[in-house]
Amino acid sequence: MAQGTRRKRRDEIKLTIAPFQSQTDYKSAVDIQREVWKFDDIDIIPPSMLLASDHIGGISLGAYNNDRRNGRFCVQFPRTEDGILIQHSHMLAVRQAYRNFGVGYRLKLAQRKESLKRKIRRSPGRSIRCSR
Ligand SMILES: CC(C)(COP(=O)(O)OP(=O)(O)OC[C@H]1O[C@@H](n2cnc3c(N)ncnc32)[C@H](O)[C@@H]1OP(=O)(O)O)[C@@H](O)C(=O)NCCC(=O)NCCS
């Protein structure tokens, strides 16, 4: 897509990126996993697991419309590498209708910002596949 067109489309979409706060936020991640990856029930990370991950230092972020509907999200699990706490970026998904507006990029920047806020300064040395 041409840069000018991308910038124009990016300006059209007003979103707030924030950590998950409510049960609705965690549940929305289930709908998005089904829609984006076509996961079977057994493959879906359930709200309880995402909540537990966030309780121990993980970061689940949503990108919200004005009506606080979440159509995109990313999830990071905490883990250590060589004894140093890092964030394993596990899932990033943007619903089809919102793609190529720069939302995925903004979610990645928000992950970085949130990690730095928590004094996590190192990226993982290895990556693990997040989908089938
Ligand atoms: C990957 C994804 C999150 C990108 O979201 P997005 O909001 O459209 O991303 P942006 O608008 O910020 O960036 C779009 C750019 O990423 C590129 N891109 C999209 N999917 C990509 C992929 N799997 N690998 C490499 N680049 C990809 C696009 O081609 C586009 O490139 P361009 O800027 O050169 O035109 C979205 O396509 C998605 O949800 N895909 C399905 C799930 C997935 O593969 N998640 C990533 C692994 S967990």
| CA of 104 relative to ligand 1 center, distance in Å | 6
Distance of CA 67 from the midpoint of ligand 1 (Å): 24
Residue 130 is predicted with a pLDDT of 46
- Whether 15 is in the pocket of ligand 1, judged by its Cβ within 6 Å, is no
Binned average pLDDT, 10 residues per bin, the chain of 132 residues: 60 83 94 96 97 95 83 88 91 92 93 93 63 46
| CB of 127 shorter than 6 A to ligand 1 | no
Query: What per-residue confidence (pLDDT) applies to 2?
Result: 63
Nearest to 89 by CA among 123, 43, 39, 64: 123
Give Cα separations from 6 to 2, 32, 110 (angstroms): 6, 24, 20
Residue 34, C-beta contacts closer than 8 angstroms, at least 6 positions apart: 44
Pocket probe for ligand 1: among 31, 95, 100, the residue whose CB has the most ligand atoms within 8 Å is 100
pLDDT at 58: 95
| Cβ of 73 less than 6 Å from ligand 1 | no
Q: Is the CB of 94 under 6 A from ligand 1?
A: yes
Which pLDDT score, from 0 to 100, does residue 132 have? 45
- Ligand 1 pocket test: pick from 70, 99, 105, 111 the residue with the most ligand atoms within 8 Å of its Cβ: 99
Cβ atoms within 10 Å, residue 44:
16
pTM of the model: 0.86
Domains identified in the chain and CATH numbers: 11-121 (3.40.630.30)
pLDDT attached to residue 128: 46
